[in-house]
Structure 1
């Protein structure tokens, strides 16, 4: 019985859902990395070898980029966290990164839980350039899971 090959998904058709913030579109979003630390362990009866055990899991940062518009939503969220701290109930938001297939149906979904801004920046101003001004929001999170 022959297996059918499936083409991998393309990374250019996606949407970002942020609880409580309505944003039209992002031009770029990074899927954070997940790293499990290792702890070396050696038993007293084993004179030569040590073995790795799983340690703490850490999550990388989520980076979102979009063209700068009149919307103040991302900036205001970052300001709220810098003034009230990430422990404020309204400072942390759940986010979903959704990868769409060629037929515009949802194919993959990553849920980012309790995210908050840790860095806000814009691309530089340059009088000799016609590039779009881009704002970038970098977010820390409690954890992330892929549900689809």
Structure 2
């Protein structure tokens, strides 16, 4: 059996405790921003005879994650979660993104810890277009873990 790279078009998104949510189905057309970066610290000790800085790892920085999906009549809205945000209070959720194989089993899982919406974007409207209406939600989070199954 030959080994092939994973395809990226078959995935699933869950949010809430154990994937529980008030929406019956969370289907997305795109998920982006699943990255993390270690900030670099440059330091030079005054007693160092070298005229160069030492580079050390610093804090981990996470990008916001963007979720896109088609708009459906009667299928809740990203806005429902967004409306829960008030000054100094936010409903934080665990968001799990699973890349699935041909048997619909997860092969890679990304988990966002303490995620909450920071931006909601509705679709653009065009009188001469025929595209599907897409809504977008951007999530901030406090940690990203990746697990290869």
TM-score, normalising length from structure 2?
Answer: 0.86
User: Would you say the 8 A contact 2:13–2:26 is kept in 1?
Assistant: no
Following superposition, the deviation at residue 68 of structure 1 comes to 0.7
Runs of 5+ consecutive residues of structure 2 not aligned to the other structure:
none
- Residue in structure 1 matching 2:67, options 46, 54, 64: 64
Secondary structure of 1:126's counterpart equals: coil
Following superposition, the deviation at residue 10 of structure 1 comes to 0.5
Match status 1:54 vs 2:51: no
User: Would you say the 8 A contact 1:86–1:92 is kept in 2?
Assistant: no
Secondary structure of 1:12's counterpart equals: coil
Residues 11 and 125 of structure 1: is their aligned pair in 2 closer, same or farther, counting only changes over 3 Å?
Answer: same
Match status 1:74 vs 2:78: yes
Question: Over aligned residue pairs, what C-alpha RMSD do you find?
Answer: 1.7
Following superposition, the deviation at residue 122 of structure 1 comes to 1.6
Secondary structure of 1:9's counterpart equals: coil
- Runs of 4 or more above 3 Å deviation: 85-88
Residue equivalent to 2:26: 24
How many residues are matched? Answer: 141
User: Would you say the 8 A contact 1:86–1:116 is kept in 2?
Assistant: no
Residue equivalent to 2:12: 15
Larger CA deviation: 136-145 vs 95-104: 95-104
Residues 15 and 87 of structure 1: is their aligned pair in 2 closer, same or farther, counting only changes over 3 Å?
Answer: same
Following superposition, the deviation at residue 85 of structure 1 comes to 4.1
Residue equivalent to 2:93: 93
Counterparts of 2:134 and 2:88 in 1: how far apart (Å)?
Answer: 24
Following superposition, the deviation at residue 54 of structure 1 comes to 1.1
Runs of 5+ consecutive residues of structure 1 not aligned to the other structure:
none
